[in-house]
A and B are shown apart, each in its own frame.
Chain A
Amino acid sequence: MMEHIRLPKVERVQLADRSSSRRAQVGTLYLTAFHTIFVDNEVHNELWVLHSLVCNVEKLSITSCGYPLLIRCKNFQVIQLLIPKENDCNDVFVSLLRLSRTERYEELYCFSFMPNVDKAARGQAWDFLNLKAEYNRMGVSNKLWHTTSVNREYRVCDTYPADLYVPKSASLPVIVGSSRFRSKGRFPTLSYYYRETQAVICRSSQPLSGFSARCLEDEQMLEAIMKSNPGSRFMYVVDTRPKLNAMANRATGKGYENEDNYTNIKFQFIGIENIHVMRNSQQKLIEVSDLPSPSMGEFLLGLETSDWLKHIKSILAAGTFIAKAVAEEGVSVLVHCSDGWDRTTQVCSLASVLLDPFYRTLKGLMVLIEKDWVSFGHKFSHRYGHVVEEPKEASPVIDQFLECVWQLMEQFPCAFEYNERFLISIYNHVHSCHYGNFICNSEKERKDLGIREKTHSLWPHLWKNKVDFVNPLFRADHSQTKGVLQPLTTPYCFKFWRGLYNHFDRGLHPRQSVLDSLMAIKEETQQLEEVLTIYQQKLAGVGREQANDLFVKKHGMKNSQGLWAEPTHIRLANSPQDYNGGNLVSGPKDLLPQQRKTNLDLSLFGDTSESSDPDNSDQESEGADFSCHSCSGGASPPSEDSVKDPDSDDPAFNNA
């Protein structure tokens, strides 16, 4: 990648603070193979941005101080640079354009990311999650379901995993026959087994039914699935597409199941829109979240016209329908859309989150994503633009899943072991290409590329930092935690996800964190309990010194904050907004000296060597500017100085 860097270093670059009227920082800009780095001259703050996270670079019109460059990132960070010389600006622009457009997988950061671990440890890290164990946990294999070797070597379906679970009663010819009748060979296979009712969620792609085609094996396959649930005499087939889209597919020889041809199925459309509609909708949402100083009306109107929450609601409603069918009615469900790797994945995994408390734990969500998304061939590299591809392939599919989970977390604050930061970290890593987990579009591609051997796995890294991702309100025995979640899908339950879309606009977030405060309290309780235990032992005549040690620990523990910890004290975390539109006479607001000294660490994904912790990126550093875009004073003229004084005998006012 080095050859694409036209200019490795530019001096006297200004980093504008878009979110406040604060003076820009002056510093040096470096371009490396994988990062853009800005180092502040005065206090040596560093800002690191991975090239793979850059979504576009824009040259803005020239100003009196230099040539502005706008870098927009996939994680919604926006960076505005001001470069003194036109040539330099152009060189940086051209270099960044190229550096952020990876052409081959091998150029991605994950192939160069070399943390200090040996080969064996790397292999172990990849074995951190075990899907076979996960199916066992669910309760398969059992007397009705078993694993099939039909897709070993990916012979039947190259976008499916090698290990699949099917009804025992489905013979090999039935499976193969069914796969020939399904788009991309994605035949119906088990996604989730619900032990309590023995009902299952199966997934597939659309049948190649056209206007009248039939396939005996496919019909037998569905019947086998239906009969493998002894508790029910029928099953649901859920097509997650809008009916119109599904009908249009018939003209191209695809389509949906005809209820008359299949035994005891109930067919149902759930109108979730396609990837193109979703892409456009998110684009509109991002524009709304990026408005410089919107009024409440503009914001809500923008939110409405983006249709984003409507889509989120439709996905959550689909998940709820399936979870209800499986848990309450005890009826199995086959879910598909067109290819069965976007909407199907969203809906199956969401239903699983609703059904199974395990998926509401840290490890459970990792397993779920590994199973439903990674192994079942969700096209990560296409959808999230890892390498240069047709832009029409990109779509915020997993964004929507993560957001649905977030909406559920908002509705059930005690039901999830993980917190919002966990979701945002996963979101970042889906785009960052820092780890190998989400590279490529299928298990087969990953195997062919040697992802396991050449890159590292994200999950153990997240697990290691789990203290940052834990929801203090979660308690395994809480009534919200147990059993099936039954979310409301009333529109008022859906909110704009500020934590993701305005993640970097610090001024918009609560200035104190309930989460951190509770975590600190819990930690304190735990340590006090330890002290207590030690004292009890001491009473029994053991370990005096040990007790003293722990006592010291108790009093010094305020310092032991995790990576994400924010100061609970608001001294530095808070400054007034511009409530006035800059009309007060006071000069530029000086920062407190402490604010000057502290390190502004906006670094996105750290250095490749020691401190390469991507989650540091989101650390709330104390010195950051917490004020945000100026708020408009509304439609009325803000001050008598900016308009004609109503006192003066101005004819305009006399006419009023």
Chain B
Amino acid sequence: MTMEFSEHIKTANVDDVVLKLPLRPALKGTLCVTAHHLVFSERKEEGSYQLLLLLRSVDAIEKSVENLLGYPQYPSAGPGQRMTGLSGSSGTIVIKCKDLRILQFDIPGMEECLNVASSIEALSSLESVTELYPFFHRPRELSLSEPWGLSSPQQQYAQTERLWDRWRLSKVNRNFSVCMSYPRTVIVPCAIDDITLAKAASFRQGGRFPVLCYYHRSNGMVIMRSSQPMTGANRKRCREDELLLQAAIDESEMGYIIDTRSAQQAQQARMAGGGFESKAFYHHWRRLHRHLERGKVLQESLIKLVEACGDPSQNMDRWLSKLENSKWLSHVHSALSTAGLVAECVERDGHSVLVHGFEGTDTTLLVTSLAQLILDPASRTFRGFLQLLEREWVQAGHPFRQRCAHSAHSHARLRQECPAFLLLLDATWQLGRQFPLALEFSEVLLLRLAQDAYASDYGTFLCSSEQERCALQVKENTHCLFQFLLRREEREKYVNPLYEATDLAIWPSVHPQSLQLWTGLFLRWTEYAQTMDEAREEIWTIVKERKETDRPKGCAHTTLSRHDSFTNVENLMDELTVL
């Protein structure tokens, strides 16, 4: 395997490279290409700057070369500088990352520049999952034998005693034969046996039959999710599917189906074999339509927004019209208000809810997870939020591999990219803005997740389903991001200093005035974000001052460890020796 990587690396080291980063003076040093990283080390005795960039996080690379033959050679006396036939020429590589950072390398030597660029191009888009860095990331303090993941449907079920009389754990999908994208175990009504489930699954797109995702303790109502029923143009029906939904609620109750498509879209879906639950066959269910955009439309929205944020013009009209035109905030609005509707059905009106759109792997998950954040105090804790993401996104089969293949800068033709997960993080950020004490985690965690969903040292966001993860032995061969983040020294970086638990639902305002651009993400690499970071630090200072006065005897504060960066470097050394 190492051979394959080294094939891609024609020039491993270049000296006298100038690195231009946002908000920093240009640096000069050595650039090194490894199997999974781009390493830049400033050539200085003390306090030299090091950049370690995961190649997977490169979204787009732009190169330009100039042949300056005849001009004086780039002034340098660095040892080890190779003389090439093209001395006097130079090149520039601009790297646009999936976390929206933009870097520029000025490289002496056209050939070196082209070599480095082609290595980056090849190594940043490795197709095989097992070649990706998480399979090689071996930090000293983590062991592969540690548990992978935070919880399973079994544990979730075991912990919720009140579920037991009406809901059961089903292993109908133990071989992933009923639904490719579901986990092995799911929670379903007791009254429905596995044979019925399998039949209902065959009536749902991709086999995603209705399963429980949230149980509301205060009134016993539930949120379920699924994909669309395959009624088709002939209005087919499926008794088992009807029974399954009927079993989820009492005879006397009324359930709500929140369809994340417009009524018209749902109608049109029938022509393609899909459809919706007909009132005639699902007597106790009322259907509401809420149109949420998905797929390509969302991806294009993200691209437009990022483009708008990078617009160098000083023109206010242009900015506002680009912001409006990107529609990103409209999508945030729809996501939050649909989730609010679901939560209102459950909490205020006492109805159970089924959420689905088309495949049930994107907007459906967006809505069910946001509704849980609104309703469930447990999902607003640090661990609870990560568990929510694990349950509703990782285990529930959000196709991270396709959706997060590229971000906003990529020139590649759009395939199945879609920033549904980013939209969830944005909507969560909005909740945090409106209820700054209600979430145990801070914006920093959301930023970290936004980064890791696209490129990570960890295996959590690899693959698109549990089945794929099992086949590729992801859990055996990578470390789990969520477990890592929960380690005490990591956790401290991501908690909200102002957190005060509340048992109540947090109802967001969905007025345009109440929703804001997530500057922390979209303007992350600007001066604007810097002053916000300073404010965050100041909040920490104030909170810590209190803690310290509270404990005058002085239980010393655990200092934030630099552990992660250390291990990164160590790891890198291993990688270099492999090469």
- What is the interface of chain A, defined by CB distance below 8 A to chain B? 289, 293-301, 303-304, 307, 309-310, 313, 411-414, 472-473, 475, 478-480, 488-496, 498, 502, 505, 507-514, 517-518, 521-522, 524-525, 528-529, 532, 568-571, 574-577, 579-580, 583-586, 589, 627-629, 631, 633-641, 643, 645-647, 653, 656
Majority SS of interface residues in chain A?
loop
Q: Judging by beta carbons under 8 Å apart, are A300 and B535 in contact? A: no
Q: When the two chains form their complex, are residues B528 and A492 in contact, meaning their CB atoms are under 8 A apart?
A: yes
Cβ A631 vs Cβ B511 within 8 A: yes
* A575 cross-chain contacts in B, Cβ below 8 A: 507
Interface status of B512 (Cβ within 8 A of chain A): yes
B residues in contact (CB < 8 Å) with A: 254, 262-264, 266-268, 276, 278-280, 286-291, 309, 314-321, 323-324, 327, 329-330, 333-334, 337-338, 340-341, 343-345, 347-349, 433-438, 498, 500, 502, 504-517, 519, 523, 526-528, 531-532, 534-535, 538-539, 542-543, 545-546, 549-550, 552
State whether A646 and B266 are in contact (beta carbons under 8 Å apart), knowing that A300-B323, A491-B315 are contacts in the complex: yes
The distance from the CB of A481 to the nearest CB of chain B, in whole angstroms, is 11
17 of the cross-chain contacts (CB-CB < 8 Å) are: A300-B320, A413-B538, A472-B542, A479-B534, A488-B527, A490-B314, A507-B511, A508-B511, A576-B505, A577-B509, A628-B509, A633-B337, A634-B334, A636-B291, A638-B289, A640-B287, A640-B288
Shortest C-beta distance, B426 to chain A (Å), equals 13
Contact B263 A640 (CB under 8 A): yes
* Inter-subunit contact A473/B538 (CB<8 Å): yes
Given A510-B435, A646-B266, residue A491 in contact with residue B288 (CB < 8 A) = no
Binding site of B, secondary structure by majority: helix, strand, loop or mixed? helix
Contact status A636-B511, CB under 8 Å? no
Does A656 contact B267, Cβ atoms closer than 8 Å?
Answer: yes
Q: Is the CB of A480 within 8 A of B267?
A: no
A527 → B minimal CB distance (Å): 9
* CB-nearest residue of chain A to B349: A586
Query: In the bound complex, how far is the Cα of B275 from the Cα of A647, in angstroms?
Result: 10
> How many angstroms between the C-alpha atoms of A645 and B289 in the bound complex?
11
Beyond known contacts A491-B315, A576-B348, A585-B254: 16 more, CB 8 A cutoff: A296-B515, A300-B324, A304-B320, A475-B538, A508-B509, A524-B546, A532-B549, A574-B506, A577-B510, A585-B349, A586-B348, A631-B510, A635-B291, A638-B289, A639-B287, A645-B279
| Chain B residues near A653 (CB-CB < 8 A) | 267
In the bound assembly, the distance between CA atoms of A472 and B498 in angstroms comes to 13
Q: Is the CB of A579 within 8 A of B534?
A: no
In whole angstroms, how far apart are the Cα atoms of A607 and B297 in the complex?
Answer: 56
List of A residues within 8 angstroms of B528 by Cβ: 411, 488, 490, 492-493
Q: Which residue of B is nearest A413, CB measured?
A: B535
Assess whether A636 is in contact with B262, with CB atoms less than 8 Å apart.
yes
How far apart are the CA atoms of A359 and B510 in the complex, in Å? 36
Contact of B263 among A414, A498, A570, A643 (CB under 8 A): A643
Contact call A631/B337, Cβ cutoff below 8 A? yes
Nearest B residue to A494, CB-CB: B316
Query: In the complex, which residues of chain A have a beta carbon less than 8 angstroms from the beta carbon of B320?
Result: 300, 303-304, 309, 491
In the complex, the answer to whether A636 meets B289 with C-beta atoms within 8 Å is: yes
Given contacts A518-B539, A521-B542, contact A299 B506 (CB under 8 A): no
If A309-B320, A656-B264, A656-B267 touch, whether A576 touches B513 (CB-CB below 8 Å) is no
B436 contacts A637, CB within 8 Å? Answer: no
Q: Is the CB of B437 within 8 A of A491?
A: no
Q: How far is the CA of A6 from the CA of B295 in the complex (A)?
A: 64
Q: Nearest Cβ distance between residue A519 and chain B, in whole angstroms?
A: 10
Q: Kindly state the separation between the CA atoms of A475 and B531 in the bound complex, as whole angstroms.
A: 14
Question: How far apart are the CA atoms of A38 and B280 in the complex, in Å?
Answer: 52
User: In the complex, are the beta carbons of A295 and B502 less than 8 A apart?
Assistant: no
In the complex, the chain B residue whose C-beta lies closest to that of A498 is: B513
Flag if B511 contacts A629 (CB, 8 Å). Answer: yes
Q: Which of these, A490, A508, A518, A579, contacts B340 with CB under 8 Å?
A: A579
Q: Tell me which residues across on chain B come within 8 A of A577, comparing CB atoms.
A: 337, 340, 507-510
Task: Provide the residues of chain B in CB contact with A412, threshold 8 Å.
Answer: 531
The answer to whether A583 and B288 touch across the interface, beta carbons within 8 angstroms, is yes
Q: Which residues in A have their C-beta under 8 angstroms from that of B527?
A: 488
CB–CB B513/A568 < 8 A: no
Q: How far is the CA of A524 from the CA of B543 in the complex (A)?
A: 10
Supposing A528-B549, A645-B279, A656-B267 touch, asked if A300 and B514 sit within 8 A by C-beta, the answer is: no
Nearest 10 A-B pairs (CB), nearest first?
A: A491-B319, A299-B512, A413-B535, A579-B340, A300-B324, A636-B262, A304-B320, A579-B341, A576-B507, A310-B316
